[in-house]
């Protein structure tokens, strides 16, 4: 299952919301194919009885009490905003 087709590159880029130029599609197809071939190596191991590790630390139940803390000021909220409309973030129509 090594390699990745041009269509798969486009599909993955769409899923990740990345616009790609034609040149990029070609270049990434080549590079990603090589990388995917290398990482496909993981399938060589027999892992039938091995549980997954999602996290290197085996801890549980770290949570916070339900006590409010101050929110940001509107100046802070919008300090880096590309576009603002009164108290709202403004974006092109979704």
Write out the binding residues for other proteins, residues 20-79 only, by CB under 8 A: 20-21, 24, 28, 31-32, 34-36, 38-45, 47, 50-57, 59-69, 71-72, 74, 76-79
Could you tell me the smallest distance in angstroms from the CB atom of residue 70 to other proteins? 8
As a whole number of angstroms, the distance between CA 21 and CA 37 comes to 24
Q: For residue 85, what is the enclosing H or E element?
A: strand 84-85
Smallest separation, CB 78 to other proteins (Å): 8
Applying CB under 8 A, the site for other proteins has a residue count of: 71
Q: Report d(CA 72, CA 53) in Å as an integer.
A: 36
Q: Does 6 bind other proteins (CB under 8 A)?
A: no
Residue among 26 and 89 whose Cβ is closer to other proteins: 89
Tokens at 65, concatenated: 């009490």
Give the span between the Cα atoms of 77 and 60, in whole angstroms.
32
């Amino acid at each position: 299952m090594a390699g990745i087709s041009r269509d798969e590159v486009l599909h993955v880029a769409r899923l990740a919301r990345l616009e790609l130029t034609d040149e990029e599609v070609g270049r990434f197809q080549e590079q990603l194919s090589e990388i995917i071939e290398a990482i496909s190596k993981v399938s060589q191991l027999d892992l039938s009885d091995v549980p997954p590790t999602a996290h290197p630390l085996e801890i549980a139940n770290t949570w916070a009490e339900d006590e409010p803390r101050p929110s940001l000021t509107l100046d802070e909220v919008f300090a880096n905003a590309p576009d603002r409309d009164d108290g709202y973030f403004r974006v092109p129509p979704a």
